[in-house]
Structure 1
């Protein structure tokens, strides 16, 4: 017998995922549009936070949640001052992957979860963890490079991990909540004052190969 209730639930979740993806894409476009004139005013900031609350408040996405929390902090006193406006412009550029001079269309993955500025990577007794697909090669080969330099490999995201390295293959999926839980947990630990740093594979490769 067909379980109509389960069929409905499966269909509902499928369509909700499609709606969430479209909303995430829309947010990317909105953010890119707001940064086009190299300035963010209070009306634009209030519009953006209202849009997120209406369309994506339910979405447990670390990138969008970071953007939302920073927006909420800036507007908590009802005023977006000049320093906050400049900071918000930089955050939105990180979110869209848009360069400061808007020289090319936004097509880079969001960099908002990454530590900015990126920390110096050291090796002896420092714990590394990898997530996503690495352009360098299989994860075991990446881990071997860390071990050769005296570093350690973590088993899972925790306060014991010093560096979470995000693979550069397919990390545009950050905007669609399909990258698993490692980034989400790392962001939560970092926001709570933990010492974990989130870095790109590109930054890690520069530290490894010079």
Structure 2
């Protein structure tokens, strides 16, 4: 699978050793605590980055690699601006599976309702939506690739959406997280007869790059 941004390997946190389960659990709890008030400031972002550097030196899980790399990019100029803070808050919510209207995380499913067999993708005037954490890079860059090929980006899940692309990042160690409201809504629409396909980022990348 294409990893143009080298977010799996090009990070000082990467190591071949297995993640310490307790550190991973602690990171999920820490991220959930930071995101719980629905805001995030620079001090919190800097603390989270330092915590990852100090506590997860033997890191081979791509979820944390992505989180750390995005944090490093956002703080590279020593300023977390408003748009970066909003993006980071969204990333932490997806990372933890935290439903801020409740006091406990979502119960995670063990499988995703991906279309099988995966459909052939068309681009021109087709409506795409992305959910989850993308291995390719920030979601806005994935969306730009679609629009460059004549596709459209949906503002929300609806009957107008043709493809919901589910981010690759996540594995059996991260069943704390839920596949979320977007996929739930997409499943309901699909079961109701809408021509909406739920596809993996891997399939999207293969269709995009060959």
Higher relative contact order (CA 8 A, sep 6+): 2
Higher helix share: 1
TM-score normalised to structure 2 length: 0.49
TM-score normalised to structure 1 length: 0.49
Which has more radius of gyration?
1
